[in-house]
Amino acid sequence: MRILVDADACPVKEIIIKVAGEMDIPVVMVMDTSHDWQCEGVKVITVDKARDGVDIALINLARKGDVVVTQDYGVAAMALGKGLRALNQNGLIFLPANMDKLLFERHLGQKIRRGGGRTKNQKKRTQTDDERFEKALRHVLGEVLKDQREVASDVDPSL
């Protein structure tokens, strides 16, 4: 298991690194060339600054058992399609049950903006947002670890 992060505008990098360190889980941050960020013990993959370049690279890197952190509903939908777990920076856990609604809302927002309209601005990030994210991340990681233990015990009854 790894934590893959759509890291271009991710406000919770430090929380991810802290939790991953406590649980000994590797972290991969994927970002484009307009960002220069490094952290000891974290793999940083830099991709060209092309439209959806980070999104495509992240999904291509992802494999079963990984957890994806992204604020992009399209990336989350692709992650779920690959059987991965995904959540956003505010602690929203993406599930097949909420994906259709989220993608539809994204579509409506894009349609309004293309027509010259405006959509609401994001609220300023708070400590509560960080706490909610950390709680959700720990929950998702715990679920994945539990699933992995169950699979391992099915393969080897001595576990």
Span 89-135, pLDDT tens digits: 999 999 887 766 665 575 556 666 667 766 666 678 899 999 999 99
- 104, two tokens: 């539809």
Q: Look at the alpha carbons of 157, 80, 96, 135 in this order and tell me if their dihedral is positive or negative.
A: positive
Weakest mean pLDDT among 51-55, 96-100, 154-158: 154-158
What DSSP assignment string belongs to 61-94? H--TT-EEE-S-HHHHHHHHHTT-EEE-TTSPEE
CB 61 within 8 A of CB 45: yes
pLDDT for the residue 146:
87
Q: Which residues contact 40 (CB under 8 A, 6 or more apart)?
A: none
pLDDT exceeds 70 at position 12: yes
What is the separation, in whole angstroms, between the first and last Cα of the chain? 19
Poorest-pLDDT segment among 55-59, 84-88, 97-101, 148-152: 97-101
Task: Provide the residue ranges of all domains of the chain, joining segments of one domain with +.
Answer: 3-96+125-150
Residue 61 pLDDT class (50, 70, 90 cuts): very high
SS3 54: helix
What are the pLDDT digits (tens) for 63-95?
999 999 998 888 999 999 999 999 999 999 998
3-96+125-150 CATH, one of 3.40.50.2030, 3.40.50.150, 2.40.30.10, 3.30.565.10: 3.40.50.2030
pTM of the model: 0.83
- Does pLDDT of 40 surpass 90? no
Question: Which residues have C-beta within 8 Å of that of residue 91, sequence separation ≥ 6?
Answer: 129, 132, 133, 134, 135, 136, 137
